[in-house]
Amino acid sequence: MRAGPSQEEIRRQNLGALLRLVHMRGQISRAELTSELGLNRSTIGALTSDLTATGLVSEEAPRETGRAGRPSLVVRASSEQVYVYAANIGVDRITAARVGLGGVILDRRESTRPSGDVVPPLRSFIQSMESKVDTDARCFGAGISVCGLVRREDGMVRLGPHLGWLDQPVGIALQEELPDLLPSVVVGNVADLSALAEHTRGAGVDCSNIIYVYSDVGIGAGIIAGGRRVTGHGGYGGEVGHMVVHPNGRPCGCGSRGCWETEVGEEALLRLSGRTGQSGREAVLAVVDAAVRGDAEAQAAVRHVGDWLGFGVANLVNIFNPELVIFGGTLRDVYLAAAAQVRSRLNHNALAACREHVRLRTPQLGDDAPLLGAAELAFEQLLADPLG
Ligand SMILES: [Zn+2]
């Protein structure tokens, strides 16, 4: 017979579960921890004491509640002292942030993306932020979000078509630059990490089935099904931009034809609005703005993209039956301008049962979702074994 988990193993799991709750909420009372974790009060007291002793959390008396009886202590994440670095490598811009336990962005740096290696500017950003950190604070690693296909096993960016990347070990390269500061650097896809962030502390906190469609030139999706991230065998799943929707359609950068992103991506919107040759977020926002102000060509372009956005989302809704679809990156503004088209196509093309509870939303975390998702990835090891 297999032996059950040891006392030490149970304690480790309970510490992880408790720290994860504090991290997700930022602060939580001992009474809430007791009811949410299903453990008794003395166990919660012992676990929080262990975490307080290591400096991961602190405890304090709550503000006056006005109720009778002894108020429950509030457990708070030590955000300033316990942190990771997070970076987002977009087509136009690179951003880095120091993110404290509890998902608090404490500091940030941003610049246009250099045409060459991104590791030297990322290293400078991190060194600049690190120079302002208290000496008693501890860094638990870094996470990087990339618009590309990332191998789960080792974070290798196999393909970043809009970055011009092929087999870039960006995580390993950054870790080698700052070995004393960063115990590890993990890498993930921007849509996956944005979905993770919205699920952890954004629009999808109470949802177990989420599709986050993200656009930064190309289109990808982060998928949460049954509360878990779905990234496929190697980590490359969610490439919905290359779902073929139009077999005789336009050629796609991937080598195929009629991919979804040839109808709803940045290039399509700019071409259809008579802005061929332009690129970037500002150009996309200018089309949306022109459409809102009544420009007929811009309105037709937004309607076209809205229609195709709805077709693709209908397919995804039929396959995954999500409660929530979030439109992020530049698709946020395109969706807001074409919400009626998207909803109408979804209602016509998706099965009634699959779409009956689905809500269409913009991100609650805005452009911070990729950074907060990268931070989640970087905190994962600490949360799995807080005293390890
Ligand atoms: Zn394609």
pLDDT, one tens digit per residue, over 305-323 is 999 999 999 999 999 999 9
Cα of 261 vs centre of ligand 1, distance in Å, is 7
pLDDT, one tens digit per residue, over 75-95 is 999 999 999 999 999 999 999
* Interval 321-350 mean pLDDT: 96
Cα of 38 vs centre of ligand 1, distance in Å, is 48
Domains assigned to the chain? 7-60+72-77 (1.10.10.10), 82-192+369-384 (3.30.420.40), 205-363 (3.30.420.40)
Cα of 103 vs centre of ligand 1, distance in Å, is 34
pLDDT, one tens digit per residue, over 192-239 is 999 999 999 999 999 999 999 999 888 999 999 999 999 999 999 999
Size of the chain in residues: 388
Question: 256, 249 in Cβ contact below 8 A?
Answer: no
pLDDT, one tens digit per residue, over 276-308 is 999 999 999 999 999 999 999 999 999 999 999
Cα of 155 vs centre of ligand 1, distance in Å, is 22
Cα of 256 vs centre of ligand 1, distance in Å, is 5
pTM: 0.94
Q: What are phi and psi of 81, to 5 degrees?
A: -95, -25
Which amino acid belongs to residue 309?
A: L
Cα of 218 vs centre of ligand 1, distance in Å, is 9
Q: 244: which strand partners?
A: 259
Nearest to 262 by CA among 297, 309, 317: 309
Tokens of 286: 């200018």
pLDDT-derived band at 70 (thresholds 50, 70, 90) equals confident
DSSP 262-315: HHHSHHHHHHHTT-TT--SHHHHHHHHHHHHTT-HHHHHHHHHHHHHHHHHHHH
Q: Using CA atoms, how far apart are residues 343 and 338, in angstroms rounded to an integer? A: 9
Cα of 385 vs centre of ligand 1, distance in Å, is 40
Cα of 16 vs centre of ligand 1, distance in Å, is 41
| pLDDT score at 161 | 85
Percent of the chain with pLDDT over 90: 89
Q: What are phi and psi of 25, to 5 degrees?
A: -95, -20
Cα of 105 vs centre of ligand 1, distance in Å, is 35
Cα of 205 vs centre of ligand 1, distance in Å, is 31
CA atoms within 13 A on the CB side of 182: 27
Which ranges of the chain does DSSP label H, i.e. alpha helix? Answer: 7-25, 30-37, 41-54, 119-130, 170-177, 190-201, 261-264, 266-272, 281-292, 296-320, 331-349, 352-355, 369-384
| pLDDT score at 72 | 85
Cα of 308 vs centre of ligand 1, distance in Å, is 15
Cα of 254 vs centre of ligand 1, distance in Å, is 4
| pLDDT score at 1 | 62
Parallel, antiparallel, or unpaired: how do β-strands 149-150 and 157-160 relate? antiparallel
Cα of 321 vs centre of ligand 1, distance in Å, is 24
pLDDT, one tens digit per residue, over 86-140 is 999 999 999 999 999 999 999 999 999 998 899 999 999 999 999 999 999 999 9
